[in-house]
Each structure stands twice: as structure tokens, then as C-alpha cells.
Amino acid sequence: MKSMQEIIELVGAKLGVSETVARDGIKILLKFAQKQIPEADFAKLMEKLPGATDLLAEATTPGAAPSGLFGSLSGLLGGQAGAAAQALSELQAAGIEPSRIAPFMQTFVDKAREVAGPEGVDVIVKNIPILKGFLKP
């Protein structure tokens, strides 16, 4: 079974970013998903992604205020849209260019589906409608 390290390496290689950038980006996605989906569903997904729990434990909330376009939007939006704007701002701050965010998310979701099974990952997509805008149907 593939580990989170293998997923991180794949995401980094496919998008041409360092493993550190890929790792930080995946932490941001996991942290966002954890806040947006039911706890039981998130726990099931984490069990199916070896190393994901450890990776999430590394995630810390940045102390700096969000910057850039997405950061500005997060202050104006509430609920899931605001949280999504915050996550997008954090991805940008982690080193993922705005034009690479959709491919980043698509690569992670595709690989997570392969490792954890589509049912676990599709719960995230179902519960976070804003994510669909970044993913191919």
C-alpha cells in the first residue's frame, strides 16, 4: 500500500514543485477537509491513507494573516467559501502558484482515490462542493 510520502513525491514530481511544497500543500488540504466534513468520515479516510494522520499532526495554523487575492476574499466570505479562500491563500503562501492549484488538487484527489478507494475520497468532494470547481468531472 502506498504511503503519504509516495503521494507527496508523486504530487511534487507531477507538478514540478519540491517535496516540501507538495507536503505543505497536502497538509493544508487535509486541514481544510478536516474542518469541512463529518468527523467520522474524515477519520475513515485518514485510516485508509497511511501516514496521513502523522502528516496532519505536523500541520499548524499559520500566524500570519492571509495575503493575496484569496486572502482578501476570505475576509469577505463566510462559512465554507471563506474557509476555502483561506485554504487557497495558504496554498499560495506554501509555494503553489494560483494557476497550479487546480492541477495540485486533482493530482492529490486522484492519487488518494487510488490509495484509499473512491468512496472515502468522494465523501470529501461531496461534502465540499467548492472543491468540484477545481476537479475534472
pLDDT tens track for 40-60:
989 988 998 999 999 988 875
Q: Residue 22 — very low, low, confident or very high, per pLDDT cuts 50/70/90?
A: very high
**Between 135 and 51, the higher pLDDT residue:** 51
The string of pLDDT tens digits covering residues 80-134 is: 667 777 888 899 999 999 999 999 989 998 988 888 888 878 888 888 877 777 8
Q: Is the dihedral of CA 107, 112, 114, 119 positive or negative?
A: negative
pTM reported for the whole predicted model? 0.80
For the beta carbon of residue 18, count every other beta carbon within 10 angstroms: 11
Looking up cell 516540501 gives 20
Helix, strand, or coil (residue 137): coil
For residue 60, the model assigns a pLDDT of 54
Domains of the chain: 4-134 (1.10.490)
